[in-house]
Amino acid sequence: MLEFLEMCGFEEKERRTQQPRVQEVFDRLGLSDQDLERAKDRMTTFYDLDLLGVRKIMRILVKDLCNTVLMREDGREKVIHQCMAPGLQIIGSAIMENSDSVGMISPNMTFMAILGGLFDKYVPILEAAERQWLKSGAVAHCGMVKSRVGLISLGLIPKPDLTITTGFACETSPKVNELLEEVYGIPACYVDACQDRELWEYPDSTRVISFAAKSMRAAVERIHEVTGCRITDDMLWKVLEERKALNFSRERLNDLIRHADPMPIGSTHLNLIGAGLGSVYFRRAELTEAVDALDTLHEELLERTRQGIGATSKGAPRVLGMFPHHHADPRWEHVANQMGVAIVACDFEGAPQGGAAGDVRELGDPYWAIVQHLNGPFTQPLGGRLDIILNMCRNLRVDGVFCHYHPGCRYVVADVMIVREAILKELGIPVLMIEWENFDPRAYNHEQYETKLETFKSMMESSSPHLETLS
């Protein structure tokens, strides 16, 4: 255990003090000494532990896992469970910073990163959901909605006093919360948004932002009714201002990774930097640790770029992933890197972060700042989505696109062929269509994937190496 904690960036004194807490959580999760040995092998295979910044990020995620599992033992009498609700990280941080008795958890990403990415033990959580009502196979329920059902049914997280989700990030998520309310008696809350955006509205999102902000404010009132925790606008403004440093550090790091040649770090780490840290409800001290981790990693990768050190060779084909990186299985991105393909970004990263730049108070309402992610590619009318994706391809000078076809997500599969045709027509770069489930390690065949990737790489290498000739 002490060796594992050292690999995860815990300093010597902290390793001794945190070992009992981590051991208790791992015992609850059914992780054995053999699992620890397997985790250490996977960490050295899939992640670059020579980088202190990577280890510091691992430390944050392990601590968040423990804080989630032990939230009631730590004195949080009321627990709110959030899933598929972008923007709630601001509200969650406000709750965690200003209340000792109420907590908010967003366990899915952290459990996927640690229990899935490090231990390869995430499938049992999905299977637990499938034994209840979220069947696999033709129905193709998304692994994300399965995750919360599995975690609750297995008792791996505290039974929440309230669930909260949105309909603008996942159209099945609200229905799953209704089922949780029916089966477990957990009150459900929703943040609504306009789904009938017209093409002419892009890029103007005033109507959508206004409606979502009002709905988010109503959800916060519901949180107060259930938990007694009152979140004020001043609390939210403070969190928004404080998170500007985190968003700046993360975007600066992403910018370095996206444009360096060779790519200085493996694509498996992009999930840790984005979805991993993005799911943590940081209190002020923890936020400082996260900024330090990102800044440390930035300096390390900057030095690598100066020396020409990379996870892929210089001039390797550059790829944009449509739909996020794999959250529970690092093998996918690792194999791509091993075969000489650099996955530099995903289209979801085109979404603005609340408080990312400028004076957020200019927006007048903190909830307007919180829902700014609705300006991203995932929530646009098709014309806007195409515009954002094509511009990302041009700006990042990618040589190809991974078009992930997620059957369990109607948001993605609805327009995937139209997006593919637009990329082929406008940019003339190869597009690899692959059936995908970024929450479930069982969802794709690795041998078939490697064969397709070899062909895809050859297509990129035989076409124009960069978009300069295509723009």
Torsions phi, psi for 202 (to 5 deg): -75, 135
pLDDT score at 439: 92
Give pLDDT tens digits for 1-21.
999 999 999 999 999 999 999
90-99, 225-234, 304-313, 446-455: the lowest-pLDDT one: 446-455
- Amino acid present at 456: F
For residue 278, the tally of other CB atoms under 10 A from its CB is 16
Rounded mean pLDDT, 285-306:
97
Tokens of 122: 């995430």
User: With bands split at pLDDT 50, 70 and 90, how would you rate the model's confidence at 469?
Assistant: very low
pLDDT score at 204: 85
Q: What SS3 class is residue 320? A: strand
pLDDT score at 435: 84
pLDDT score at 323: 83
DSSP state of 120: S
pLDDT score at 357: 41
Residue 75 has pLDDT above 90, yes or no: yes
Residue 298 has pLDDT above 70, yes or no: yes
pLDDT score at 194: 77
Burial of 94 per CB tally in 10 Å (0-12, 13-18, 19+): buried
Residue 359 has pLDDT above 70, yes or no: no
pLDDT score at 121: 97
107-121, 280-294, 337-351, 386-400: the lowest-pLDDT one: 337-351
pTM over 0.85: yes
pLDDT score at 355: 45
pLDDT score at 246: 96
pLDDT score at 224: 97
pLDDT score at 168: 80
Residue 158 has pLDDT above 60, yes or no: yes
Rounded mean pLDDT, 161-169:
90
User: With bands split at pLDDT 50, 70 and 90, how would you rate the model's confidence at 345?
Assistant: very high
Residue 23 has pLDDT above 90, yes or no: yes
Q: What SS3 class is residue 422? A: helix
Residue 325 has pLDDT above 70, yes or no: yes
User: With bands split at pLDDT 50, 70 and 90, how would you rate the model's confidence at 353?
Assistant: low
User: With bands split at pLDDT 50, 70 and 90, how would you rate the model's confidence at 188?
Assistant: very high
Proportion of the chain in helix, strand, coil states, percent, rounded to 5: 60, 10, 30
Alpha carbon separation from 90 to 84, 139, 173, 216, 353 (Å, rounded):
14, 34, 20, 11, 10
Residue 67 has pLDDT above 60, yes or no: yes
Residue 197 has pLDDT above 90, yes or no: no
User: With bands split at pLDDT 50, 70 and 90, how would you rate the model's confidence at 136?
Assistant: low
- The reply to whether omega before 174 is within 30° of 0 (cis) is no
Residue 352 has pLDDT above 90, yes or no: no
Rounded mean pLDDT, 40-58:
98
